[in-house]
A and B are shown apart, each in its own frame.
Chain A
Amino acid sequence: DGGITQSPKYLFRKEGQNVTLSCEQNLNHDAMYWYRQDPGQGLRLIYYSQIVNDFQKGDIAEGYSVSREKKESFPLTVTSAQKNPTAFYLCASSIAEDEQFFGPGTRLTVL
């Protein structure tokens, strides 16, 4: 199961708190992605990055922020502006013209 890792596996957030989800890959992939999964909604794109120091908003970027300072790392911060953050968060990476590999996910719950 190596290659792309996420931490923590479970995360609890209090109202008004920012939290950061970690995503690391050692696959030498250029592109990395963050998806949010809610029951019955499939996977929705939050942010993606195709190269270091560059990233683009996805369909549901409001209330989230990212950085891409290293090729291996693409952390996602869930800010207090995200009013309904309880979900399963999946990070993925890919190399040009090839499949996306997913990390094991982080389940975030708001207390």
Chain B
Amino acid sequence: GENVEQHPSTLSVQEGDSAVIKCTYSDSASNYFPWYKQELGKRPQLIIDIRSNVGEKKDQRIAVTLNKTAKHFSLHITETQPEDSAVYFCAASISGNTPLVFGKGTRLSVIA
């Protein structure tokens, strides 16, 4: 079955700097790759997703890139702000309507 590896497990950046989180997946049939942000004690919330027919997607300060050949995808956050501090999870699935397989998460701390 699918296996998703996520790195790093913790990341600290200065406010205004960029943050990059990387994930790899094992199942070449996976074609849906969402990223979730989870604040302490809250539910995960989707921040951006990408499908296999697209190499890059951007939404304001957040971007995701996908390399299907290498089976990895990355989350890029520019101009980080203290409110970006949270745990970020990547995930993969064959479609949006099949179970997601999650990475173990990255705890991002943005230092003011």
Considering the chains assembled together, what is the distance between the CA atoms of A101 and B43 in angstroms?
A: 9
* Interface pick from A17-25, A35-43, A62-70, A77-85: A35-43
Number of A-B contacts (CB under 8 A): 61
* Interface pick from B58-66, B70-78, B97-105: B97-105
Which of the residues B49, B95, B96, B103 comes within 8 Å of A42, measured between beta carbons? B103
Q: Is A54 in the interface zone, CB < 8 Å from B? A: no
The answer to whether A105 and B49 touch across the interface, beta carbons within 8 angstroms, is no
By size class, the interface of chain A is 20 to 34
Give the Cβ gap from A2 to chain B, nearest Cβ, in Å. 13
Q: Is A58 in the interface zone, CB < 8 Å from B? A: yes
Which of the residues B1, B96, B104 comes within 8 Å of A100, measured between beta carbons? B96
List of A residues within 8 angstroms of B49 by Cβ: 99
Considering the chains assembled together, what is the distance between the CA atoms of A98 and B103 in angstroms?
A: 19
Q: Is B20 in the interface zone, CB < 8 Å from A? A: no
Give the Cβ gap from B42 to chain A, nearest Cβ, in Å. 7
Known A-B contacts A42-B103, A43-B102; the reply to A102 vs B43 at CB < 8 A is yes
Interface positions of B from 75 to 112, Cβ below 8 Å from A: 89, 95-105
A selection of 29 A-B contacts at a CB cut-off of 8 Å is A33-B100, A40-B104, A42-B6, A42-B103, A42-B104, A43-B89, A43-B102, A44-B102, A45-B99, A45-B100, A45-B101, A48-B99, A90-B43, A94-B96, A94-B97, A96-B95, A97-B32, A97-B95, A97-B96, A97-B97, A99-B34, A99-B46, A99-B96, A100-B34, A100-B46, A100-B100, A101-B46, A102-B43, A105-B42
Q: Which residues of A contact B (CB under 8 A)?
A: 30-31, 33, 35, 40-45, 48, 50, 58-59, 90, 94-105
